[in-house]
Amino acid sequence: MSSLEQFEKAVTEAGAVAIRIMRGPRGAERLIIQTPGGLITREVPLRGDLGKDIQAAATSAQEIVAGAKRLTAASATSLSSSRPPPADRAPPRR
């Protein structure tokens, strides 16, 4: 199994998608991962130690998936509701 396949497997198991590996101007490589649907994208720096890099990618994938779940949860999507609060939770009138 190639290192790219190992990255893809670790990221997919965490619920995200491995997009590509990019090389920076000084040769530094970064793995680009994204939540399904593209809500959150993150660059994971690769250090050259395959075991540690795969662990970093998996951890990062878990973090962005958890973040996307928080952002799309019912409580987060109803924050801008135009309905007034129920009478029992309405602020006191002065």
40 in a domain, yes or no?
Answer: yes
93 in a domain, yes or no?
Answer: no
32 in a domain, yes or no?
Answer: yes
37 in a domain, yes or no?
Answer: yes
8 A C-beta contact, residue 60 and residue 36 = no
81 in a domain, yes or no?
Answer: no
Query: What type of residue is 81?
Result: S
pLDDT score, position 3: 79
Structural domain containing residue 42: 3-72
CATH number, domain of 41, equals 3.30.160
pLDDT score, position 73: 84
pLDDT category, 17, cuts 50, 70, 90?
very high
86 in a domain, yes or no?
Answer: no
29 in a domain, yes or no?
Answer: yes
- Tokens 């991962």 locate to 33
Q: Please tell me the pTM assigned to this model.
A: 0.74
Please state the domain count of the chain.
1
The DSSP secondary structure of 3-59, one letter per residue, reads: HHHHHHHHHHHTT-EEEEEEE-TTS-EEEEEE-TTSS-EEEEEE-S-HHHHHHHHHH
Residue 64: count of CB within 10 angstroms of its CB: 21
pLDDT category, 77, cuts 50, 70, 90?
low
pLDDT score, position 43: 95
44 in a domain, yes or no?
Answer: yes
